[in-house]
Amino acid sequence: MSKYFARRLLTTIPTLFGGVTLIFLAVNLIPGDPVAMMLENYFSGDAYDAIRIRLGLDQPLYIRYIRYLGDLLKGNLGTSFRTGRNVLMDILAQFPYTFSLATAALSLAALIGVIAGVVSATQRNRWSDQAIMVLALTAVSTPSFWFGILLMMLFSVRLRWFPTIGGGTLDDPLNFLRYLALPTIAIGTRSAALIARLTRSALLDCLGQDYVQTARAKGLTERVVVFRHAFRNALLPVITIIGIDLGHMLGGTAIIEKVFSRPGVGKLLVDGVLARDYPQVQGTMIFFMIMILIANFLADVAYSIADPRIRYD
């Protein structure tokens, strides 16, 4: 197994290199002039040229790419054009907000999704199964940002149970959780629906296998048959989708963070795109890519733990 994980780690190197290259080219070839946006409409030609030289934008693209790779090997994601601060430091300062939102949403999605999927599978074709699947289909079809706005209008504006915008402070856990509640529901509901549908499908497939029929023939109770024999095997594809969802949530919180005006790496990315802040956009996208790779790797580890019969050669 250790050889498998070592190979997986080695395969991330070309993936990282290809991802960094694509991100660099995409960011640097998009329309827009970051210097003009920094100076707005009040600048002379000399000031414009001086800033381009200071930022290195006067150099050919391949020179900037080589320099950027060299900086990445040193752990330097560059300096923001907009703020003048180190991009990595800005990301690390905002990451706790994004990480807390992603993990809270995934925990909520996994808990609700697995329970709903098990109930739906064990109550197949009954009213509870149909109700859960209708709710799941509705949740999958509902955009997270639109659902977030509805939650904000109801629970923040009308009922005033939760704050409208912001992210709270890490120094006050209770206040922080109040700011976290609505974004967590907004981003976690769709994942919960996907997990519920997948859990139902996987569990129904396992319940139809021969070893489950054998367990029933031995006189075991339905609870033992479902949870001891079928559920563990049905959990394997669910673990995979949960791991993938964690990576997607870490990289996909930008819209929700913008809707709720929350601090976070996603909002940092959106602000960088609007300002044509190349280092900030590149740095946050590379950071998200690394988080997704780590999440997928952890999903593989969890997969092998859930089923010890799996051996990676």
Q: From its phi and psi, is residue 166 left (phi > 0), alpha (psi between -120 and 50) or beta?
A: left
Which pLDDT score, from 0 to 100, does residue 1 have? 57
Set out the domains of the chain in order of their start, with CATH numbers.
Answer: 17-73 (no CATH), 94-306 (1.10.3720.10)
Amino acid at 53: I
Residue carrying structure tokens 């080695």: 10
Computed over every residue of the chain, the mean pLDDT equals 80
- In this structure, are residues 86 and 284 in contact, taking their beta carbons and an 8 Å threshold? no
Which pLDDT score, from 0 to 100, does residue 4 have? 64
- In this structure, are residues 266 and 98 in contact, taking their beta carbons and an 8 Å threshold? yes
Which pLDDT score, from 0 to 100, does residue 66 have? 86
What is the CA angle 296-298-299, rounded to 5?
A: 60
> What are the DSSP E strand ranges found in 29-152?
none
Q: Which tens digit of pLDDT belongs to each residue from 77-112?
A: 888 877 778 888 888 888 888 888 888 888 888 899
Which pLDDT score, from 0 to 100, does residue 41 have? 60
Residue 127 burial (C-beta neighbours within 10 Å; 0-12, 13-18, 19+): exposed
Other C-beta atoms closer than 10 Å to the C-beta of 173 total: 11
Which pLDDT score, from 0 to 100, does residue 307 have? 62
pTM more than 0.85? no
Which pLDDT score, from 0 to 100, does residue 27 have? 79
Along the 313 residues of the chain, how does pLDDT read in single tens digits?
A: 566 667 767 777 788 888 888 888 887 777 766 776 666 666 666 777 777 777 777 777 888 888 888 888 888 888 887 777 888 888 888 888 888 888 888 888 889 988 888 888 888 878 888 888 888 888 888 888 888 888 888 888 888 888 877 777 777 778 788 888 888 888 888 888 888 888 888 888 877 777 777 777 777 777 777 777 677 777 777 877 887 777 777 766 778 888 888 888 888 888 888 777 888 888 888 888 888 888 777 777 776 666 666 555 4
Written as six digits, the tokens of 176 are 């922080």
Residue 285 half-sphere exposure, CB side, CA atoms within 13 Å?
Answer: 21
- In this structure, are residues 277 and 80 in contact, taking their beta carbons and an 8 Å threshold? yes
